Amino acid sequence: MYHFQPAICYSGYRQGQSPRQHIFPSDQEVLEDLKHLQTFVKHIRMYDTSYHVKQVCRLIEAHAIDLKVMLGVEPKGEIDNPNCHFGGRHSNEAIKQHKVYNYQQLDDMIDIAKTYDNVVFAVSVGNENTSDWHPNLMPESSLIDHVNYVKSKINKPVTFCEGQYFWLHNKGLAHVVDVISIHSYPQWQSLHLEDAIEKTKRDILETKETFPHKPIIITEFGWATKANHQMILDEANEINQAIYLNAIYAYLKDIDMLAYLFEAYDETWKGSDNKDEQEKHWGIFNEDRTPKLWQKEKPKFELSHLNKD
């Protein structure tokens, strides 16, 4: 079930569109994306239960698009997190409200999975919500309850998506999910490209060694092509993206692991007004759907290219 297949994280927002303003892409725009994506991937991952997610599932089913979807939710915080400087503070009253809202989101996700049973491949009860920097921090116990609740309602693989390091501290959650979904972003750790490639490989190996009897997939890995802070700025480019992805895909094929690349298209609505902010530039295609180097020419870039003129 979790063998290597091309998979990617997808969000269809284009210039002037944003989930913050509830300005969604048109059916025609999404259908263009889906027909494009099915030419080189079999799985896509989405993150919430918004109109856009339902739109994608509806269009896949209506047009017999050859794609399977991993659904997700974005829980609201159930822990006050003063260490987060961008929205992590939650009062006791807010936490009570969030707990109710979070189950409503789970019910929405369950309904989508039931409505589009032939489209939905798996579901996730959250995304990086046990990372200590997260504005919507969740206790492991709540996520365990969420996994068990969803399992009682639908017959789909249930997971939680989290950075590799934090899985090592979520062993109770690891026990109840059907599959462990890890993220690996060595670029955020300011590692040089060669070290970053080896770090992603070690992330996979360490998780396998820690949880030898549990299926493991990657639900996010990638390389930003621009950056304005916290990374090695001159290494955030399209050549390095191609080198990193070629190296990691060769490894994934060798170990036969399902992995979702982050991501299909640049999302310029994200983050601040700084056009070079890395959150906007993880795509293998630009926001206007023109290909970046890795997709444009399909060159076999390797580390040796760094030493060539």
Q: pLDDT in tens for each of the 309 residues of the chain?
A: 799 999 999 999 999 999 999 999 999 999 999 999 999 999 999 999 999 999 999 999 999 999 999 999 999 999 999 989 889 999 999 999 999 999 999 999 999 999 999 999 999 999 999 999 999 999 999 999 999 999 999 999 999 999 999 999 999 999 999 999 999 999 999 999 999 999 999 999 999 999 999 999 999 999 999 999 999 999 999 999 999 999 999 999 999 999 999 999 999 999 999 999 999 999 999 999 999 999 987 667 787 766 544
Please choose, from the candidates 125, 211, 223, 222, the residue with its C-alpha nearest in 3D space to the C-alpha of residue 167: 211
Here the tokens at position 56 are: 């994608």
What is the H or E stretch that residue 9 is in? strand 6-9
φ and ψ of 44, to 5 deg: -125, 150
CA distance 244 to 5: 18
Q: Assess if residue 1 is contained within a domain.
A: no
* Residue 104 region by backbone torsions, left for phi larger than 0, else alpha for psi between -120 and 50, else beta: alpha
Q: Domain count for the chain, please give it.
A: 1
CA distance 298 to 121: 28
Query: pLDDT value at position 1?
Result: 78
Query: pLDDT value at position 106?
Result: 98
Query: pLDDT value at position 309?
Result: 40
pTM reported for the whole predicted model: 0.96
Please choose, from the candidates 175, 99, 177, 178, the residue with its C-alpha nearest in 3D space to the C-alpha of residue 136: 99
Q: What is the DSSP string of 95-117?
A: HHHHHHHHHHHHHHHHHHHHHTT
Q: Assess if residue 13 is contained within a domain.
A: yes
Query: Could you tell me the CATH number of the domain that includes residue 224?
Result: 3.20.20.80
| CA triple 78-82-84, angle to 5 deg | 90
CA distance 46 to 206: 26
Query: pLDDT value at position 307?
Result: 55
What is the H or E stretch that residue 184 is in? strand 179-184
Q: Assess if residue 288 is contained within a domain.
A: yes
**Structural domain for 25, as ranges:** 6-307
